């Protein structure tokens, strides 16, 4: 516990800088070209081998010199935030923050006005971010996704499977990871919309004892009110026939015996060409309402019943959806909707995305619910079966897979740029000069700092002259990068050395902001611990 | 002469399938092979194993060159099978695919005994044809297993031997034949023929297709030969070097299926099977 007191300005900057350096130097090993590892000894002497910058930073709670801890904690917070947002980029952010802090500090010590310096840094950062988006390209194929996955996952086979899954499921797709004991790597893709449901009568099943149903060309009537009167059933059957369906699926919370008898009689009749199946959704509360909404949007049907425009008795042909196929097995209803693009669907997808973006803090339950909804609406649900011999290896693979899936989703949404830190070099020309003399110092700080990631990467790879590489990249096309392993300049898109632009943007923006905050910190105050005895301020 | 819709096998032994049944084709003779389907639409032969699909439904297989037949274990609710195709590396992977009318694509991992639905990514469940690209070199990474499916609303591409599908850009309707170039992994060329929407071509590995102008609207079959490409509409055969500019072959007869043979080309159609000697024709 530090001695309570106040650390003054000059000392503060020295200690904050030391804290920042400690974390940045530690994390720079994980930057590349081949991911480096950091070994962490847990309190119970168990060893952890880590390559994720965000987790490494989280393991650090304080430094040996408590005065340096403030800077270290700022860095820790930065790296964790970047990792949480994009799945990657923590090491890049750390290296950038270190560079911005030290370059700016030198200018401040030389007498530059800190407020103008701050403004210049912020403006320069915004311009570079804009330039990064200008040179970003969309993801073209699954090969690019696999290359990005390889930068997160050390196992090539797993990287290939993860890249393939993200390609087929899309950025909004949800991947459920199942753990297994033993070496297993399998994936499956779940076609259709799956909803937990109970059949409302076993008389709907064709074979006694076999609780399965499969129907093609199905009209879908969804209601949130119970079906109680005969006219409810008769009207639904009528509109289903008008719709041209061969089968009718009714989703309702409850059904009376009278209605059930009518439905079953028609279902079994040889004369009537309409087979019927009725189920109730078993999800409760928020999930129940959302499931009904999603099914309506996906099948282009209208919700009937309580507080709706129509009830089952007054439903029209337009209120009933039509799907190519449904099946029911093991208390799970599967609705295959085929091609189902519509304005309502896009609107609902946008709404769920907005809710996810607005979600604050650690509301994991709500987040999981919204992620599942989004995957259901966008038709992207898959299962990854992952196993390893030891629990540690299994946990590591799972963590890498989760991270990679997140990073790949970010890449699919925002696009990609030249990797290896080259994108910063290509983008920084927009701040090479500045007409406003007040902003120039800030622009210079950012300009020089942007070469820090590639400089570190080249040093990690043992390159003897990083400056020459940087100068060459500066003059090259925006797709050019330097392959440290091959020791040659390559086309990043052809060779797969690419980075998601949103990862770089998040890293730069947060690093710049945190560096400014660190620069503006003039004093550190250590509070007296009330439980300590004999402490002097 | 029987109508022939499907030809399978190799130069040692060919089997031919059509509405009149299954036949072994040897020395211009059709030797009937008894099998359980009423009307055949497709057939496949892998070593001693034979597969047939058609009306009424499902896949039937014979492990002993047609001596005995067994129904494949496949949950299909009466779907007619329109095409059966094997992974070029089926001997090690055991993967086969079957396209159906109304229930999408079925996939087997045990050389055709048990099948499951693999419809992820399909917008339509009527699939008319399947086509595998040649295997990638063993040292390639990532080593995809590319297969195409022609549906009634477009073409689908799978990078993982049919586990999941992604719709290609381009809207060819009712695609009934797809062929990937033998040098697919170098040039990315795929050709697709439709029932009434002409010929479509991809140059980017099958991610997108563009319509080829000045081609017949109905294309029943396609084949790539060492001398270029062949296609058939309802009246003639056509030839092209690269699949872009096509010329009708004078005095040619149409075909419903074309297969490369050691002495030329086998063409199956409404008048049985005939041989075309490519070296002399083109």
Cross-chain residue pair B77–A214, CB shorter than 8 Å: yes
C-alpha closest to that of B165 among B183, B192, B182, B145? B145
Average pLDDT over residues A58-67: 83
Whether A158 contacts A402, CB under 8 Å: no
For residue range A398-408, list pLDDT tens digits in order: 999 999 999 99
C-alpha closest to that of A429 among A135, A133, A131, A136? A131
- Prediction ipTM score: 0.93
Cα distance from A191 to chain B (closest Cα, Å)?
Answer: 4
Q: Is the pLDDT of residue A530 over 60?
A: no
Percent of chain A whose pLDDT exceeds 70: 95
Q: Does B227 touch chain A (CB under 8 A)?
A: no
Cross-chain residue pair B117–A191, CB shorter than 8 Å: yes
Q: Does B242 touch chain A (CB under 8 A)?
A: no
pLDDT mean across residues, chain B: 91
Confidence at residue A267, expressed as pLDDT on a 0 to 100 scale: 80
pLDDT mean across residues, chain A: 89
Cross-chain residue pair B75–A214, CB shorter than 8 Å: yes
At residue A249, the 3 state secondary structure works out as strand
At residue A41, the 3 state secondary structure works out as strand
Cross-chain residue pair A187–B163, CB shorter than 8 Å: yes
**Tokens linked to A202:** 């076993």
Distant-in-sequence, close-in-space partners of A391: CB < 8 Å, separation ≥ 6? none
Cα distance from B260 to chain A (closest Cα, Å)?
Answer: 32
Confidence at residue A537, expressed as pLDDT on a 0 to 100 scale: 46
Average pLDDT over residues A102-115: 91
Whether A179 contacts A394, CB under 8 Å: yes
Q: Residue A66 region, left (φ>0) first, then alpha (ψ -120 to 50), else beta? A: alpha
Average pLDDT over residues A279-289: 85
Confidence at residue B10, expressed as pLDDT on a 0 to 100 scale: 78
C-alpha closest to that of B118 among B168, B173, B179, B75? B75
Confidence at residue B264, expressed as pLDDT on a 0 to 100 scale: 84
- Round to the nearest angstrom and report the end-to-end CA distance of chain B: 27
pLDDT confidence tier of residue A528, bands split at 50, 70 and 90: low
Confidence at residue A535, expressed as pLDDT on a 0 to 100 scale: 45
Shortest CB distance from B166 goes to which of A140, A156, A168?
A168
Q: Does B160 touch chain A (CB under 8 A)?
A: yes
For residue range B217-248, list pLDDT tens digits in order: 999 999 999 989 999 999 999 999 999 999 99
Residue A275 with chain B: CB contacts under 8 Å? none
pLDDT confidence tier of residue A58, bands split at 50, 70 and 90: confident
Confidence at residue A536, expressed as pLDDT on a 0 to 100 scale: 46
Average pLDDT over residues A499-519: 95
Q: Does A143 touch chain B (CB under 8 A)?
A: yes
Average pLDDT over residues A504-523: 93
Other CB atoms within 10 Å distance of the CB of residue A318: 12
Q: Does B165 touch chain A (CB under 8 A)?
A: yes
Confidence at residue A31, expressed as pLDDT on a 0 to 100 scale: 85
Q: Is the pLDDT of residue A4 over 70?
A: no
| Pairs across A and B, CB distance < 8 A | 66
Residue B144 with chain A: CB contacts under 8 Å? 142, 164
Q: Rounded to an integer, what distance in angstroms lies between the CA atom of residue B10 and that of residue B8?
A: 7
Average pLDDT over residues B134-160: 96
Q: Rounded to an integer, what distance in angstroms lies between the CA atom of residue B268 and that of residue B2?
A: 9
**Tokens linked to A530:** 């009330």
Cross-chain residue pair A339–B123, CB shorter than 8 Å: yes
**Tokens linked to A430:** 């927009």
Residue B121 with chain A: CB contacts under 8 Å? 168, 189, 191, 379
**Tokens linked to A242:** 């008008």
Q: Is the pLDDT of residue A169 over 50?
A: yes
Q: Is the pLDDT of residue B179 over 70?
A: yes
pLDDT confidence tier of residue A2, bands split at 50, 70 and 90: low
Average pLDDT over residues A255-265: 88
Q: Report in angstroms the alpha-carbon separations of A225 from A229, A255, A399, B82.
A: 11, 9, 44, 43
Residue A156 with chain B: CB contacts under 8 Å? 141
Distant-in-sequence, close-in-space partners of B12: CB < 8 Å, separation ≥ 6? none
| C-alpha Rg value of chain B to the nearest Å | 18
**Out of A378-392, A438-452, B166-180, which region has the weakest mean confidence (pLDDT)?**
A378-392
| Closest alpha carbon within chain A to B117 | A191
Q: Which residue has the tokens 């930065």?
A: A78
pLDDT confidence tier of residue A40, bands split at 50, 70 and 90: confident
Cross-chain residue pair B125–A324, CB shorter than 8 Å: yes
Q: Rounded to an integer, what distance in angstroms lies between the CA atom of residue B128 and that of residue B193?
A: 11
Q: Rounded to an integer, what distance in angstroms lies between the CA atom of residue A32 and that of residue A40?
A: 19
| Closest alpha carbon within chain B to A144 | B142
Confidence at residue A512, expressed as pLDDT on a 0 to 100 scale: 97
Cross-chain residue pair A191–B121, CB shorter than 8 Å: yes
For residue range B29-38, list pLDDT tens digits in order: 888 888 888 7
Residue B256 CA, chain-centre distance (Å), reads 11
The interface residues of chain A toward chain B in range 381-410, judged by CB-CB distance below 8 A, are 382
Q: Rounded to an integer, what distance in angstroms lies between the CA atom of residue A444 and that of residue A121?
A: 8
Bridge-based pairing of strands A247-251 and A213-222 is parallel
Residue that wins the pLDDT comparison between B28 and A286: B28
For residue range A195-215, list pLDDT tens digits in order: 899 999 888 888 777 888 988
At residue B141, the 3 state secondary structure works out as coil
Q: Is the pLDDT of residue A423 over 70?
A: yes
| Closest alpha carbon within chain A to B124 | A338
At CB < 8 A and 24+ separation, what contacts does A160-163 make?
Answer: A160/B141, A160/B142, A160/B143, A161/A185, A161/A187, A161/A384, A162/A384, A162/A401, A162/A404, A162/A405, A162/A408, A163/A404, A163/A408, A163/B142
Q: Supply the DSSP symbol for B205.
A: S
Q: Is the pLDDT of residue A508 over 80?
A: yes
For residue range A119-160, list pLDDT tens digits in order: 999 999 999 999 999 999 999 999 999 999 998 898 999 999
Cβ burial A147-160 (10 Å sphere, 16+ → b, else e): bbbbbbbebeebbb
Percent of chain B whose pLDDT exceeds 90: 66
Residue A379 with chain B: CB contacts under 8 Å? 121
Residue B205 with chain A: CB contacts under 8 Å? 141
Q: Rounded to an integer, what distance in angstroms lies between the CA atom of residue A424 and that of residue A136?
A: 12
Whether A38 contacts A47, CB under 8 Å: no
Q: Is the pLDDT of residue A185 over 50?
A: yes
Q: Rounded to an integer, what distance in angstroms lies between the CA atom of residue B146 and that of residue B162?
A: 8
Q: Report in angstroms the alpha-carbon separations of B42 from A369, B19, B58, B226.
A: 45, 10, 11, 25
Kindly report the backbone phi and psi dihedral angles of residue A248, in degrees, each rounded to the nearest multiple of 5, phi listed first.
-135, 130
C-alpha closest to that of A507 among A26, A179, A69, A82? A82
C-alpha closest to that of B4 among B277, B195, B273, B244? B273
**Tokens linked to A385:** 């079966």
Cross-chain residue pair B122–A188, CB shorter than 8 Å: no
Average pLDDT over residues A357-361: 72
Side-by-side strand order, sheet with A184-189? A174-181, A381-388, A184-189
Q: Does A324 touch chain B (CB under 8 A)?
A: yes
Q: Does B207 touch chain A (CB under 8 A)?
A: yes
Q: Rounded to an integer, what distance in angstroms lies between the CA atom of residue A114 and that of residue A111?
A: 8
> Which of A150, A153, A164 is the best residue to mutate to test the B interface, defined by the most B CB atoms within 10 Å of its own CB?
A164
Q: Does A338 touch chain B (CB under 8 A)?
A: yes
């Amino acid at each position: 516990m530090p001695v309570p007191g106040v650390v003054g300005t000059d000392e503060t900057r020295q200690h904050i800088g030391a804290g920042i350096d400690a974390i940045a130097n530690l994390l720079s090993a994980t930057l590349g070209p081949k991911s480096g590892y950091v070994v962490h000894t847990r309190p119970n002497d168990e060893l952890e081998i880590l390559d994720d910058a965000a987790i490494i930073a989280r393991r650090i709670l304080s430094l040996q010199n408590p005065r340096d801890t403030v800077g270290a904690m700022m860095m820790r917070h930065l790296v964790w935030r970047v990792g949480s947002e994009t799945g990657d980029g923590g090491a890049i952010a750390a290296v950038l923050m270190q560079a911005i802090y030290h370059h700016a500090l030198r200018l401040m010590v030389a007498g530059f006005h800190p407020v103008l310096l701050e403004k210049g840094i912020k403006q320069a950062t915004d311009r570079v971010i804009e330039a990064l988006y200008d040179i970003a390209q969309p993801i073209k194929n699954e090969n690019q996704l696999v290359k990005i996955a390889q930068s997160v996952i050390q196992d090539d086979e797993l990287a290939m499977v993860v890249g393939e899954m993200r390609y087929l499921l899309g950025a909004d797709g949800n991947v459920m990871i199942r753990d297994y004991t033993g070496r297993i790597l399998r994936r499956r893709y779940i076609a259709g919309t799956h909803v937990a449901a109970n059949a409302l009568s076993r008389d709907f099943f064709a074979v006694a004892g076999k609780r399965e149903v499969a129907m093609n060309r199905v009209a879908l009537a969804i209601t949130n009110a119970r079906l109680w009167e005969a006219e409810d059933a008769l009207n639904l059957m009528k509109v289903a026939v008008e719709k041209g369906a061969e089968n009718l699926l009714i989703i309702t919370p409850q059904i009376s015996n009278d209605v059930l008898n009518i439905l079953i009689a028609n279902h079994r009749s040889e004369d009537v060409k309409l087979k019927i199946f009725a189920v109730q959704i078993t999800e409760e509360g928020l999930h129940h309402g959302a499931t009904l909404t999603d099914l309506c949007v996906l099948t282009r049907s209208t919700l009937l019943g309580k507080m709706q425009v129509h009830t089952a008795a007054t439903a029209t042909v337009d209120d009933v959806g039509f799907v190519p196929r449904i099946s029911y097995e093991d208390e799970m209803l599967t609705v295959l909707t085929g091609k189902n693009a519509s304005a309502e669907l896009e609107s609902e997808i946008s709404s769920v995305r907005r809710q996810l973006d607005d979600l604050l803090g650690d509301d994991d339950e709500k987040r999981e619910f919204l992620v599942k909804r989004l995957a259901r609406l966008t038709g992207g649900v898959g299962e990854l079966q992952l196993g390893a011999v030891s629990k540690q290896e299994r946990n590591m693979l799972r963590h890498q897979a989760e991270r990679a899936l997140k990073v790949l989703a970010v890449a699919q949404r925002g696009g990609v740029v030249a990797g290896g830190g080259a994108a910063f070099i290509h983008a920084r020309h927009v701040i090479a000069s500045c007409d406003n003399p007040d902003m120039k110092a800030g622009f210079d700080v950012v300009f020089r700092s942007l070469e820090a990631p590639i400089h570190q990467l080249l040093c990690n790879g043992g390159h003897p002259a990083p400056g020459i590489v940087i100068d060459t990249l500066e003059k090259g096309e925006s797709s050019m990068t330097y392959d440290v392993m091959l020791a040659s300049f390559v086309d990043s898109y052809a060779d797969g050395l690419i980075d998601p632009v949103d990862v770089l943007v998040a890293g730069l923006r947060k690093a710049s902001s945190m560096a400014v905050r660190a620069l503006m910190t003039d004093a550190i105050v250590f509070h007296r611990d009330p439980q300590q005895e004999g402490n002097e301020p | 002469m029987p109508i022939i819709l499907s030809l399978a096998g190799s130069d040692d032994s060919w089997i031919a399938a059509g509405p009149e049944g299954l036949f072994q084709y040897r020395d211009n003779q059709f030797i009937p092979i008894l099998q359980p389907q009423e009307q055949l639409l497709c057939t496949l032969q892998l070593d001693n194993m034979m597969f047939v699909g058609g009306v009424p439904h499902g896949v039937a297989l014979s492990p002993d060159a047609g001596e005995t037949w067994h129904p494949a274990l496949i949950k299909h609710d009466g779907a007619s099978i329109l095409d059966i195709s094997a992974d070029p590396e089926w001997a090690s992977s055991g993967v086969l695919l079957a396209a159906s009318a109304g229930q999408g694509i079925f996939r087997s991992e045990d050389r055709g005994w048990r099948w499951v639905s693999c419809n992820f990514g399909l917008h339509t469940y009527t699939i008319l044809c399947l086509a595998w690209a040649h295997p990638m070199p063993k040292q390639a990474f990532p080593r995809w297993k590319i297969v195409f499916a022609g549906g009634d609303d477009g073409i689908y591409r799978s990078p993982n031997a049919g586990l999941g599908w992604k719709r290609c850009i381009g809207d060819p309707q009712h695609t009934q034949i797809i062929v990937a170039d033998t040098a697919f992994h170098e040039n990315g060329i795929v050709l697709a023929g439709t029932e009434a929407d002409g010929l479509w071509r991809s140059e980017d590995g099958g991610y997108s297709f563009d319509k080829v102008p000045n081609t017949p609207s109905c294309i029943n079959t396609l084949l790539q030969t060492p001398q270029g490409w062949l296609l058939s509409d309802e009246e003639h055969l056509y030839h092209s070097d690269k699949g872009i500019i096509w010329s009708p072959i004078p005095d040619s007869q149409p075909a419903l299926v074309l297969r490369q043979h050691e002495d030329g080309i086998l063409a199956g159609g409404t008048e049985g099977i005939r041989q075309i000697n490519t070296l002399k024709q083109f």
